[in-house]
Amino acid sequence: MAKGYGRGMPGMGGGMNMNMLKQAQKMQQDMLRMQQELQEKEYQAASGGGVVTAVVNGKHELRKGFVDSMSLDNANFDSQEAYEQKIMEVLNELKGGKGRVASFYSHVIGDGEWCISTDRLEFLLRKAKEMGLQFYTFQELQYW
């Protein structure tokens, strides 16, 4: 066996292996902490002059952003039941997601084909409130 092999490095004392082990453990803990910080950090990208914004975390999970866009106009639903079913599907999806946003729009409030009736709008707002979901106007989202 070569001189000094297995006894630590000559002139460094027998504790060299313990110091190296402690340093390696500290480096490992530091790396785990940094990985955790990177996963929790949020990254933002915008398009269309900031009209559409997406925020993801280091795990590639969508935290904020537009996921769905749905016209609430009366012309898109054959009946009140079809409207309510679709609204509940979307609201349940949003409730289960993290930071997901649906864009609901209609041309105007009213009873015409390219309108949303007040009954339908009230149903949407009531159900969303019961589920604890937040609504924002288009103007609020522009400054998001």
* pLDDT, tens digit (0-9, with 9 covering 90-100), for 67-81: 456 788 888 888 889
d(C-alpha 114, C-alpha 128), whole Å: 23
Q: What does pTM read for this prediction?
A: 0.48
The amino acid at 105:
Y
User: Measured at the alpha carbon of residue 106, what is the angle toward residues 69 and 98, in degrees to the nearest 5?
Assistant: 30
What whole-number percentage of the chain has pLDDT above 70? Answer: 67
DSSP state of 51: T
Lowest mean pLDDT among 63-67, 120-124, 127-131: 63-67
The amino acid at 64:
K
Rounded mean pLDDT of 136-142?
A: 69
Lowest mean pLDDT among 28-37, 91-100, 106-115: 91-100
